[in-house]
């Protein structure tokens, strides 16, 4: 779908007293080997898809970025500087149909009390097959009760952190089982989210997603899908959903910023129906966003 182009890398200057950024050679190091984002995974990130030069759902991504920073007790990101860096990365990038900008913000070098932040941009992979043919998923126990965000807030459920080892391990387990992706389930039997995606169902004539109070990441793409659904006459809701709801749903998707809506064609080896027409409508609506 896109050609390989020169990546763009911008180093943010924080704190807010001297906001701004510097363009760096993407082939050179951007962070110290002693940066806590590297040594401890102590940091946050956002990935923003860019279509025809337009960053999708930028306001929602920046709001979630600030929310994650607050959960980790990082200094408040300087929104204007990060926003400016996003557009600078896009302007500096070779023209391409689909790309993504990644924002990374860490606690910085241990003991320095100064955060590190950088923005990069790269072309997106070709997700045509996943968006049209669909994906096979497996259900995996996340090992947490659905009340985890309330009972144990120090576990940082709902923050988009750099600590992705568990998510990567889950993806490898899916591959071992012959599947493409994962849906996590709480120990009390509720659907949660994918390692890097949000669950969306067409259920009883509504478009629904798991409640964000369950310790899951609020989905920016899911929010856009809800807007598209309402325009097309579908009621939307955040609900407590179970694997049984997934099994009886008319259609189901895993949705994320770069892949968009990937219809689920099988769960734990059991084939399920794909609504190709509705999927195409959703992905066309996502591609047509102007903000």
pLDDT at 96: 79
From 18-27, 31-40, 124-133, 280-289, the region with the lowest mean pLDDT: 18-27
* Strands (DSSP E) found in the chain: 8-13, 20-24, 43-51, 54-55, 98-106, 116-123, 135-141, 181-185, 198-203, 206-210, 236-239, 251-256, 260-267, 270-271
From 6-15, 241-250, 253-262, the region with the lowest mean pLDDT: 6-15
d(C-alpha 214, C-alpha 291), whole Å: 28
pTM beyond 0.85:
yes
Question: Is residue 2 very low, low, confident or very high in pLDDT (cuts 50, 70, 90)?
Answer: very low
Do the Cβ atoms of 256 and 197 come closer than 8 Å?
yes
Per the DSSP assignment, residues forming a β-bridge with 251 are: 202
pLDDT at 5: 43
> Does the pLDDT at position 168 exceed 50?
yes
pLDDT at 288: 85
> Does the pLDDT at position 106 exceed 90?
yes
Counted residue by residue, the chain has a size of 291
Question: Is residue 4 very low, low, confident or very high in pLDDT (cuts 50, 70, 90)?
Answer: very low
What is the average pLDDT across 161-183? Answer: 96
> 8-51 pLDDT, tens per residue?
677 777 655 566 778 877 777 788 899 999 999 999 999 999 99
> Does the pLDDT at position 69 exceed 50?
yes
What is the average pLDDT across 105-123? Answer: 89
Question: Domains of the chain (ranges plus CATH)?
Answer: 8-125 (3.30.470.10), 129-287 (3.20.10.10)
117 or 202: which leads in pLDDT: 202
Give me the long-range contacts of 69-72 (CB less than 8 A, separation at least 24).
69/44, 69/105, 71/153, 71/156, 71/158, 71/159, 72/42, 72/43, 72/44, 72/107, 72/156, 72/159, 72/161
Q: Is the peptide bond before 15 cis (omega within 30 degrees of 0)?
A: yes
């Amino acid at each position: 779908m896109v050609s390989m182009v020169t990546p763009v890398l911008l180093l943010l200057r924080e704190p807010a007293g001297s906001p701004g950024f510097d363009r760096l050679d993407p082939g050179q190091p951007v962070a110290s080997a002693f940066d806590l984002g590297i040594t401890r995974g102590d940091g946050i990130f956002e990935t923003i898809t860019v279509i025809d030069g337009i960053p999708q759902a930028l306001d929602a991504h920046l709001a979630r970025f600030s929310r994650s920073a607050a959960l980790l007790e990082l200094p408040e990101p300087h929104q204007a500087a990060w926003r400016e860096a996003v557009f600078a990365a896009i302007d500096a990038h070779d023209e391409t149909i689909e790309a993504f900008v990644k924002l990374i913000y860490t606690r910085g070098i241990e003991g320095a009390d100064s955060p590190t932040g950088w923005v990069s941009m790269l072309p997106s992979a070709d997700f045509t097959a996943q968006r049209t043919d669909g994906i096979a998923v497996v259900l995996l126990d996340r090992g947490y009760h659905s009340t985890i965000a309330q009972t144990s807030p120090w576990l940082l459920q709902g923050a988009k952190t750099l600590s992705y080892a568990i998510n990567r391990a889950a993806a490898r387990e899916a591959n071992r089982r012959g599947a493409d992706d994962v849906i996590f389930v709480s120990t009390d039997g509720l659907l949660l989210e994918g390692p890097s995606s949000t669950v969306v169902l067409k259920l009883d004539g509504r478009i629904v997603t798991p409640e964000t109070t369950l310790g899951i990441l609020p989905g920016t793409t899911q929010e856009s899908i809800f807007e598209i659904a309402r325009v097309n006459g579908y009621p939307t809701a955040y609900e407590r959903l179970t694997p049984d709801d997934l099994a009886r749903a008319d259609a189901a998707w895993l949705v994320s910023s770069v892949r968009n809506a990937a219809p689920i064609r099988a769960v734990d080896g059991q084939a399920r129906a794909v609504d190709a027409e509705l999927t195409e409508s959703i992905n066309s609506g996502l591609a047509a966003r102007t903000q």
